[in-house]
Amino acid sequence: MERNDAVLEKAEQALEAYLHGQGLRCTPERNAILEAVFMTDGNFTPDMLLEEMTERQNFRVSRATVYNNLTIFEQAGLVKRLLHEGKIKYTLGWHENCNVSLVCSGCGQVTEVQNKRIDKLVHEMKLRRFQMTGYSLQIFGLCSKCSQALRRRMKQKKNRQNK
């Protein structure tokens, strides 16, 4: 999925500022991995990202480089790590550094939502000796598809017990 170039450019600038602050270099590999992250649609594993880069983009990086850079991207707030069915997955986590994510516990789908009331509450918080640069809120539950599937299973189970 193609992402907005302006959003990718802002993310690149945010990464560059983070790397500079940490005394790290901005490398072609980091930029290529970040671009691949922004090209993904939905959740991804490091191996999926590696496959995307080697097969579709013809850019070879080591598995360790992908894992290490995802850790850096997570620390910079560009991606979010999720634990789904015992596996670590990532999702794009950078939306002007203020976001609310709905995370389905069934399928792992992550939906970003805008909520002005939450945004206002967070920004009005009085934080002592702390300068907020952004926030991320994850709300866990079931998406409509998983919720319907659960209701069907419960109904089937109830019908079997009544026979």
Read off the tokens for 23: 């005394």
| Contact status, residue 137 vs residue 98, Cβ threshold 8 Å | no
CA–CA dist 50, 65 (Å, integer) = 10
Same-fold call for 1-94 versus 95-163: no
| Contact status, residue 3 vs residue 38, Cβ threshold 8 Å | yes
Tens-of-pLDDT digits for all 163 residues of the chain?
345 677 788 888 888 988 999 999 999 999 999 989 888 877 889 999 998 888 877 888 999 999 999 999 988 888 888 876 778 888 887 655 567 888 888 887 778 788 889 888 988 888 888 877 677 788 889 999 999 999 999 999 888 888 7
So where are the chain's domains?
A: 1-94, 95-163
| Structural class in CATH, domain 1-94 | mainly alpha
Picking from 111, 116, 117, 106, the residue whose alpha carbon sits closest to that of residue 149 is 106
| Contact status, residue 89 vs residue 45, Cβ threshold 8 Å | yes
The structural architecture, per CATH, of the domain 95-163 is 2-Layer Sandwich (3.30)
The answer, as to whether pTM is greater than 0.85, is no
